[in-house]
Amino acid sequence: MSLTTPPRTGPAITDRRVPPLGGFNTTVLGLELRRMLRNRRTLFFALVFPAALFLSFGSQSDWDHSVGNGNVAAYVMVSMALYGAALIAAAGGATVATERALGWSRQLRLTPLHPAAYVVTKALVALALGAVAITTVNLVGVAQGKPSMALGTWVACGALTLLCVLVFAALGVFVGYLVPGENAMQVLGPGLAILAFLGNVFIPMDEGSVVYKIAEWTPMFGVAEISRAPLTGDLAWGAVPNAVGWLVIFVVGAAWRMSRDTARV
């Protein structure tokens, strides 16, 4: 072969670049959101169900009793928004395991997509969906007219709820690995309902009771306290350690299952 004649026309391999941000981009983000919004079952349980719960619990006779800086209806609304957001974020997290089972993550490994960019995309999708769930319950609250609190309190509660949603996105990834395939939601659905009861999200428990003493250690207790703190004006000392502790446990658990799974991918 003569070195003076180029072998073939076509770009040289040195022209090839690696994408910026590890392949993170808005097309993928948009498509991932669209996938979640297409899943009617998830949407029903994360949007319609919490709103319906709010309408029934938040309309009981004591709805206008005062709670901290607002009323009982506002307290129930914030709780239900948290429940819906947690459910949809967990469902989003569980898709990571489903995608691995389908071999999609193997397909993605044939692209420049960096695993960190993938995790960030999934976290943003969980946050966006959480925001949709929170907004839905809050809009239903506004339309119904019973919840009452200052606008600043309202916004602060919503923002804190959104932050807390990350705990459940991590839980979703973890459970997705423990319960392979598309059955993860059948564990997450009832599981989150139980955690919501124990987390004081559905019905307030008697402080000092045995159940309450146990419930204080469960994963939804801390985040519920944090989400409602701007409204109640009060934050139990164990709430933040509880939320951070469970976040760490779920992230470590998810990472542990993920790394064990890598050999198969």
State yes or no: residue 261 binds other proteins (CB under 8 A): no
What is the distance between the alpha carbons of residues 13 and 63, in angstroms, rounded to a whole number?
68
Site string (167-206) toward other proteins, x via CB under 8 A: ----------------------------------------
Q: How many C-beta atoms surround the C-beta of residue 253 within 10 A? A: 17
What is the distance between the alpha carbons of residues 177 and 49, in angstroms, rounded to a whole number?
26
Which of 15, 40, 145, 237: binder of other proteins (CB under 8 A)? 15
What is the distance between the alpha carbons of residues 254 and 159, in angstroms, rounded to a whole number?
25
Is the Cβ of residue 22 or residue 253 nearer to other proteins in the bound state? 22
State yes or no: residue 124 binds other proteins (CB under 8 A): no
Contact 265, 106 (CB under 8 A): yes
Q: Kindly state the smallest distance separating residue 122's Cβ from other proteins, in Å.
A: 13
Q: Is 64 exposed, middle or buried (0-12, 13-18, 19+ CB in 10 A)?
A: exposed
Element (H, E) at 75: helix 72-102
Site string (19-38) toward other proteins, x via CB under 8 A: xx--x-x-xx--x--xx--x
Q: How many C-beta atoms surround the C-beta of residue 237 within 10 A? A: 8
Q: Kindly state the smallest distance separating residue 45's Cβ from other proteins, in Å.
A: 17
State yes or no: residue 6 binds other proteins (CB under 8 A): yes
What is the contact surface with other proteins in residues (CB under 8 A)? Answer: 1, 3, 6-13, 15-20, 23, 25, 27-28, 31, 34-35, 38-39, 99, 102-104, 106-113, 265
